[in-house]
Amino acid sequence: MNFNDKWEIIHYYGLLFSMQILQIIGILVFFTLVKKIGKRLLTQLFSVKIGKLKRTTPESLKQKETIKQLALSVFKYIINLIKVILIISVFIPIGTFMASLGAFAIIITFAFQNMLGDMVRGFFIIFEEMFMVGDLIEVAGFQGEVLQIGLRTTKLKLISTQEEVLIPNNNIGNIIRLDPARFETK
Query: For residue 48, what pLDDT is reported?
Result: 55
Higher pLDDT, 55 or 110: 110
Closest listed residue to residue 149, CA positions, set 45, 80, 68, 81: 68
Is there a domain that residue 177 lies in?
A: no
Segment 15-24, tens digit of pLDDT: 888 899 999 9
- Domain span at residue 36 reads 3-111
Query: For residue 50, what pLDDT is reported?
Result: 44
Is there a domain that residue 136 lies in?
A: no
Q: What is the mean pLDDT of residues 55-68?
A: 71
Lowest mean pLDDT among 27-36, 56-65, 150-159, 175-184: 56-65
Is there a domain that residue 140 lies in?
A: no
pLDDT at 186 over 60: no
Residue 6, exposed/middle/buried by CB under 10 A (0-12, 13-18, 19+)? exposed
Is there a domain that residue 58 lies in?
A: yes
Is there a domain that residue 162 lies in?
A: no
The total domain count for the chain is: 1
Higher pLDDT, 174 or 66: 174
Segment 89-145, tens digit of pLDDT: 888 887 777 777 777 777 777 777 888 888 888 888 877 778 888 889 999 889 999
Alpha helices (H) in the chain, listed in sequence order: 3-46, 58-91, 94-103, 105-111, 113-127
Is there a domain that residue 106 lies in?
A: yes
pLDDT at 53 over 60: no
Query: For residue 57, what pLDDT is reported?
Result: 67
- With bands split at pLDDT 50, 70 and 90, how would you rate the model's confidence at 56? low
pLDDT at 79 over 90: yes
Per the CB < 8 A criterion, the answer to whether 151 and 119 are in contact is yes
For residue 8, give Cα distances in angstroms to 2, 16, 126: 10, 12, 59
N-term to C-term CA, the chain: 77
- With bands split at pLDDT 50, 70 and 90, how would you rate the model's confidence at 34? very high
Is there a domain that residue 172 lies in?
A: no
For residue 97, give Cα distances in angstroms to 28, 46, 66, 93, 103: 20, 37, 36, 6, 10
Q: Residue 179 is which amino acid?
A: D
Question: CB neighbours of 124 closer than 8 A, spacing ≥ 6?
Answer: 130
